[in-house]
């Protein structure tokens, strides 16, 4: 991994450190008066700028910076294309701080050339629950790379977190830094096969034809749990309490999870639902400006919410393709089911069956809404459906990091049946070209 001049100075586990014996902070928290009061110096010609994402012009500036300069795959074929609605949703959860949306501008013309953002959260790592910030969207304009601006941005957002009394953080990156707490792999379920072949996201293997590939990936048009009064419908405001309860209980299965409140659930699962109403029972098409898609299953006899699942939209720009500008990608978000709490359900396969019913419907909904591909990571209970649903192993890894918190490594990729390579190639018998290296919202839950 070479030398890390910056990371060697930070309170993170260093390479080669022995796994910690117990969990805890690396550096003690400081009282506010001991936190550095003035911003870190920037190179001459640049200035700090707190970004007000409620101002549509500033939101657009961030959107434009990221659209042209954010994460690309290794072959420079795809680049994340966050929409303004997405950024508004992802960066303004309940309790967010304007000061944690840190920008750098050129002093002379005020052009936004770098950005980093934090949002507050409550995190549970094993049995410890603490306030943390989730850091994301670190971006330096392509023309200003390799000038050590990134460490200054990181130090400044850290200072801003310290000023609010937050001394721990979580973040993900495609690059390997000191030192991941876990690593996950992306998996992809092809939906619009001809387009994905056209743009080079995937290809037709030698012993396969396009027609056969389309047939193999074809999905039904109506979600199964919407038939026979089985209770599938979009989540609504009135479901918040029950979804929170289901989420909280289900997440007990995992070792690293965001702890949510009612307002978090409302924000994460409803506020990005977009404009307008889709009539009940209509599965085709999408709402204007919709970022997150959340569905619940309501037991028609008891009116209890027994399950939920969600996914969000994050298109990627297709770089240099004449036919297509973007690839529409759905990312699996959170899900939970009551079945997990009925005794013996895991052992006798009922949990697996139920998860498959839910995710199968998520795929159908995404397909009907015109998504090209459905992504997920090797975390939560995703190993229960990757193979059956023809998810293909991607070539992108996502490393998870904790700042100023020590804990033994958590299972990530290994959670998938021990041999992701074999299983992955078995699933699809084809290689997927998709090194999407960072998740827009973090989903960090491991067994």
Ligand X SMILES: CCCCCCCCCCCCCC(=O)SCCNC(=O)CCNC(=O)[C@H](O)C(C)(C)COP(=O)(O)OP(=O)(O)OC[C@H]1O[C@@H](n2cnc3c(N)ncnc32)[C@H](O)[C@@H]1OP(=O)(O)O
Query: Which residues form the interface with ligand X (CB under 6 A)?
Result: 4-7, 69-71, 133, 135-140, 145-151, 154, 157-158, 161, 166-169, 171, 173, 175, 177, 403-404, 438
Helix axes 56-69, 84-91, angle to 10 degrees: 110
* DSSP assignments along 430-446, one per residue: S-B-------SS-----
| Closest approach of ligand X to the CB of residue 32, in Å | 14
| Closest approach of ligand X to the CB of residue 376, in Å | 19
| Closest approach of ligand X to the CB of residue 9, in Å | 8
DSSP 275: B
| Closest approach of ligand X to the CB of residue 295, in Å | 29
| Closest approach of ligand X to the CB of residue 439, in Å | 10
CA of 203: how far to CAs of 76, 100, 287, 391, in Å? 17, 42, 31, 15
Nearer to ligand X, 168 or 217 (CB): 168
Q: Is 365 helix (H, G, I), strand (E, B) or coil?
A: helix
Nearer to ligand X, 12 or 416 (CB): 12
Nearer to ligand X, 1 or 216 (CB): 1
| Closest approach of ligand X to the CB of residue 3, in Å | 7
Nearer to ligand X, 36 or 148 (CB): 148
Neighbours of 240 (CB within 10 A): 18
| Residue 142 to residue 276: CA distance in whole angstroms | 38
Nearer to ligand X, 12 or 430 (CB): 12
Comparing CA positions, the residue from 252, 260, 216 lying closest to residue 93 is 260
- Contact indicator for 187, 412 with CB cutoff of 8 Å: no
| Closest approach of ligand X to the CB of residue 436, in Å | 11
Q: Cβ neighbours of residue 92 under 8 Å, at least 6 residues apart?
A: 53, 54, 119
Neighbours of 397 (CB within 10 A): 20
Nearer to ligand X, 217 or 437 (CB): 437
- Contact indicator for 162, 150 with CB cutoff of 8 Å: no
Nearer to ligand X, 149 or 330 (CB): 149
| Residue 411 to residue 430: CA distance in whole angstroms | 26
Two tokens, residue 425: 């190639």
């Amino acid at each position: 991994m070479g030398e890390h001049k910056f990371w060697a100075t930070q309170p993170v586990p260093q390479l080669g450190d022995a796994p910690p014996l117990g969990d805890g902070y690396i550096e003690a928290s400081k009282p506010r008066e001991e936190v550095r009061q003035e911003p870190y110096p920037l190179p001459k010609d640049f200035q700090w700028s707190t970004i007000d994402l409620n101002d549509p012009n500033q939101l657009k500036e961030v959107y434009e910076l990221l659209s042209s300069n954010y994460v690309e795959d290794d072959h420079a074929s795809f680049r994340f294309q966050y929409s303004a609605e997405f950024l508004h949703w992802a960066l303004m959860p309940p309790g967010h701080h304007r000061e944690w949306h840190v920008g750098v501008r050129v002093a002379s013309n005020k052009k936004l050339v770098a950005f980093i953002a934090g949002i507050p959260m409550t995190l549970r790592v094993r049995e410890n629950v603490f306030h943390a910030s989730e850091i994301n969207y670190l971006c330096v304009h392509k023309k200003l790379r390799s000038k050590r601006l990134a460490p200054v941005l990181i130090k400044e957002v850290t200072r801003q977190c310290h000023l609010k009394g937050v001394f721990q953080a979580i973040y993900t990156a495609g690059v390997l830094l000191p030192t991941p707490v876990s690593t996950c792999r992306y998996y992809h379920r092809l939906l619009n096969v001809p387009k994905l072949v056209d743009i080079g996201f995937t290809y037709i293997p030698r012993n396969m034809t396009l027609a056969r590939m389309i047939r193999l990936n074809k999905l039904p048009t109506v979600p199964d749990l919407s038939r026979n009064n089985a209770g599938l419908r979009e989540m609504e405001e009135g479901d918040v309490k029950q979804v929170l309860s289901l989420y909280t209980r289900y997440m007990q299965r995992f070792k690293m999870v965001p702890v949510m409140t009612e307002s978090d659930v409302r924000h994460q699962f409803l506020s990005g639902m977009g404009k307008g109403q889709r009539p009940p029972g209509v599965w085709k098409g999408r709402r204007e400006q919709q970022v997150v898609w959340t569905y619940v299953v309501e037991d028609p006899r008891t009116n209890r919410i027994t399950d939920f699942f969600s996914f969000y939209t994050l298109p990627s720009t297709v770089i240099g393709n004449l036919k297509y500008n973007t690839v529409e990608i759905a990312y699996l978000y959170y899900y939970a089911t009551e079945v997990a709490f009925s005794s013996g359900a895991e052992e006798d396969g009922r949990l697996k069956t139920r998860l498959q019913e839910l995710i199968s419907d998520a795929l159908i909904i995404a397909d009907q809404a015109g998504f090209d591909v459905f992504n997920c990571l090797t975390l939560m209970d995703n190993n229960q459906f990757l193979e059956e649903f023809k998810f293909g192993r991607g070539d992108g890894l996502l490393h998870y990091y904790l700042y100023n918190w020590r804990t033994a490594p958590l299972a990530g990729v290994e959670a998938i049946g021990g041999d992701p390579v074999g299983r992955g190639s078995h699933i699809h018998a084809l290689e997927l070209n998709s090194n999407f290296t960072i998740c827009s919202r973090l989903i960090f839950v491991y067994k």
